[in-house]
Structure 1
Amino acid sequence: MVAAAKDAPVTVETIVVPDPGPGEALVKVQACGVCHTDLHYREGGIGDDYPYLLGHEAAGVVEAVGDGVTDVAPGDFVVLNWRAVCGQCRACRRGRPWYCFATHNATQKMTLTDGTPLSPALGIGAFASKTLVAAGQCTVVDAEAPATVAGLLGCGVMAGLGAAINTGGVGRGDSVAVFGCGGVGDAAIAGATLAGATTVIAVDVDDRKLTWARDFGATHVINSRETEPIKAIRALTGGNGVDVAIDAVGLPEVFRSAFYARDLAGTVVLVGVPRPEMKLELPLLDVFGRGGALKSSWYGDCLPTRDFPTLIALFRQGRLPLDKFVSETIGLDDVEESFARMGRGEVLRSVVVLD
């Protein structure tokens, strides 16, 4: 599935996938979620290195590996990730590989049949029957998990879960507010619930999304078109505000609401992706006087080899409702319409199932 030019409808094309070279893996894709990031690529919101091979929330089976690959082997069921850590940069050497500053992708390019090189979305390009990735982008998980569910850990669901658990450090008895209840926000709600938060407040402008948020563990919901959210959140937390406020939208006004909706010494986590032109203005005295922490969350600060197998295990135990994120399964021909349904807020995730 290729985006040939800015705002052009995506099309199904025949592509050429090289045999894996050193450090690379060839993966037969079984399922891939349709993420907002794919739409941003199509719209030119990430770059202009067209044509793009879209798709990155994927799971499948390794078909072949190149020289020097030891962590995965043909036949392994894997979830693809877009941050293959290098193990050598200053973050990795300090024992913080989830911050790796030199993540990498496959060296070889996939192409159209005329030789035109393709830019794979987030270094993956999984709206295809097969894709070539760096072997470090493959994380082996329990093969009993459905690919339609497992693949969602590859981006949005992991980003939200990790924003709550890894970045926000939500713990037992905490209070949490999540602003924006799409896939990432609902994953943050699920993560906060899993971590033991006792008050989980969902904030959105769409009552349908607030209903979904309850399915993932929200104890209270606020429609911010109808109710001022900061006052409502304080009313639900004894006048104090929440321990952790998560902005899953990425708008300055939403971040301001999250900032003022938290308790003294509380934490604000930005996981929604802002546009380049956006600016944030806050009184510096309030930043100082309220204490706590303002954090951004990169991919949920996850380490795929640590987090993906654990989350799949929790799903298999019935403790993490990953299957509730799947609104529909579709074919490659339906991706363009799924973008429209996403824009209308009708789905959490459409998932492409490949033969």
Structure 2
Amino acid sequence: MAHAVNGVVAAGRGAKVSVETILVPDPGPGEALVKVQACGVCHTDLHYREGGINDEFPFLLGHEAAGVVEAVGEGVTDLAPGDFVILNWRAVCGSCRSCLRGRPQYCFNTHNASQPMTLADGTPLSPALGIGAFAEKTLVHSGQCTKVNPKAPAEVAGLLGCGVMAGIGAAINTGGVTRGDSVAVLGCGGVGDAAIAGARLAGARTIIAVDLDPTKLEWAQRFGATHTVNAREQDVVEAIRELTEGNGADVVIDAVGRPETFKQAFYARDHAGLAVLVGVPTPDMQLELPLIDVFSRGGAVKSSWYGDCLPSRDFPMLIDLYLQGRLDLGAFVTETIGLEDVEKAFEDMHHGRVLRSVVVL
């Protein structure tokens, strides 16, 4: 039986999104039907609408979500109706070469639901990141559901499904930030502020927030930045060195994802320091660095995909920290909205007026 529900659809490149009736099938083998309670509005959804991911329109947008399992398909033994879950877009397989080497966070064979969700006329939809959660219900692979403590409100729990996890993981998992480290974060939107929060959780001594927008720098201080640098007014590399006894930071996280910001991250790190790229570049971007500088400065350069997270490990831990009052996930939520407000939320996000808009269903 198909469930007719409302969902936000991007019909074509650059077209405004609309709320449409979509048909969600009952779960088949290995699948779960989830009643969505809340879903954050992420830049990735805007990239889908603009055709920046691929051209497989129409898209069912939304992926940063939490909700309650309504039904499970054959063979699903670790989920049950009524479970409160955060959705993730990397359901690890457990059998690829990365999983078998004990590195499931780099799984090469992640799973999505097999059955398509469709428009009322039968047109198949492409769910954003295999989730499609700007909808009253969605169909996912059971491995995309991570059970967490239901005491956490859905509007904050769902943020771990993408942006907040990406930033915290960039600091803790990829960057390996630890007690006493100095950290600089370039770009103080949702992902950058989450990286700042992660660095504070890990015990960093100095946390430097860098942005062009004074308002975003104020936001960054709420999450734990000890110093701020306005990139319109200061040389970023020199400012970071001045704040780290002339050495550069131990870890520099680029949450923007542009060649110019990554060069700043590369040169603003200490000798043998680490530069982490978590901001997502576009396919046309090119980076040029003198190879002698790569050699002579030592250290490492890493990309951080989804914060190198393992949802089954990281989501419950971070929810527990939230419930203990040690991680203020609520500070990321600027506003709560309805499905019909997603287009305006994209505009507000594009202009930097919000940290996170969250659709509440």
TM-score (norm 2): 0.98
Q: Map 1:160-175; keep pairs closer than 5 Å.
A: 160-175=167-182
- For residue 344 of structure 1, what is the aligned residue in structure 2? 351
- For residue 306 of structure 1, what is the aligned residue in structure 2? 313
- For residue 3 of structure 2, what is the aligned residue in structure 1? none
- For residue 99 of structure 1, what is the aligned residue in structure 2? 106
Residue 186 of structure 1 aligns to a residue whose secondary structure is helix
The question of 1:142 aligning with 2:149 is answered: yes
The question of 1:182 aligning with 2:192 is answered: no
Q: How far does the alpha carbon of each residue in 1:168-211 deviate from its partner, in whole angstroms, 9 at most, with x for none?
A: 00000000000000000000000000000010000000000000
**What amino acid sits opposite 2:351 in the alignment?**
R
The structural deviation recorded for 1:101 is 0.6
| CA distance in structure 1 between the aligned counterparts of 2:317 and 2:224, rounded to whole angstroms | 19
Structure 1 stretches (4+) deviating beyond 2 angstroms?
Answer: none
The question of 1:250 aligning with 2:250 is answered: no
| CA distance in structure 2 between the aligned counterparts of 1:112 and 1:343, rounded to whole angstroms | 28
| CA distance in structure 1 between the aligned counterparts of 2:302 and 2:353, rounded to whole angstroms | 30
| CA distance in structure 2 between the aligned counterparts of 1:285 and 1:36, rounded to whole angstroms | 35
1:24 to 17, 31, 36: 31
- For residue 215 of structure 1, what is the aligned residue in structure 2? 222
The question of 1:241 aligning with 2:256 is answered: no
Q: How far does the alpha carbon of each residue in 1:235-263 deviate from its partner, in whole angstroms, 9 at most, with x for none?
A: 01010000000000000000000000000
Structure 2 runs not aligned, ≥5 long = 1-7
Q: Map 1:192-211; keep pairs closer than 5 Å.
A: 192-211=199-218
Amino-acid identity (%) = 76
| CA distance in structure 2 between the aligned counterparts of 1:323 and 1:198, rounded to whole angstroms | 24
- For residue 294 of structure 1, what is the aligned residue in structure 2? 301
1:47 to 47, 54, 74: 54
- For residue 263 of structure 1, what is the aligned residue in structure 2? 270
The question of 1:318 aligning with 2:318 is answered: no
The structural deviation recorded for 1:343 is 0.7
**What amino acid sits opposite 1:350 in the alignment?**
S
- For residue 127 of structure 1, what is the aligned residue in structure 2? 134
2:237 to 205, 230, 236: 230
The structural deviation recorded for 1:70 is 1.1
| CA distance in structure 2 between the aligned counterparts of 1:33 and 1:237, rounded to whole angstroms | 35
2:82 to 68, 71, 75: 75
| CA distance in structure 2 between the aligned counterparts of 1:320 and 1:163, rounded to whole angstroms | 16
Q: How far does the alpha carbon of each residue in 1:37-72 deviate from its partner, in whole angstroms, 9 at most, with x for none?
A: 000000000011000000000000000000111111
Residue 110 of structure 2 aligns to a residue whose secondary structure is coil
The question of 1:5 aligning with 2:12 is answered: yes
2:283 to 272, 276, 281: 276
**What amino acid sits opposite 1:78 in the alignment?**
V
**What amino acid sits opposite 2:193 in the alignment?**
D
Residue 225 of structure 2 aligns to a residue whose secondary structure is coil
The structural deviation recorded for 1:315 is 0.4
The structural deviation recorded for 1:164 is 0.2
Residue 55 of structure 2 aligns to a residue whose secondary structure is coil
Residue 13 of structure 1 aligns to a residue whose secondary structure is strand
The structural deviation recorded for 1:133 is 0.1
Residue 17 of structure 1 aligns to a residue whose secondary structure is strand
Residue 14 of structure 1 aligns to a residue whose secondary structure is strand
| CA distance in structure 1 between the aligned counterparts of 2:281 and 2:261, rounded to whole angstroms | 11
| CA distance in structure 2 between the aligned counterparts of 1:305 and 1:70, rounded to whole angstroms | 15
| CA distance in structure 2 between the aligned counterparts of 1:133 and 1:11, rounded to whole angstroms | 22
Q: How far does the alpha carbon of each residue in 1:123-175 deviate from its partner, in whole angstroms, 9 at most, with x for none?
A: 00000000000000000000000000000000000000000000000000000
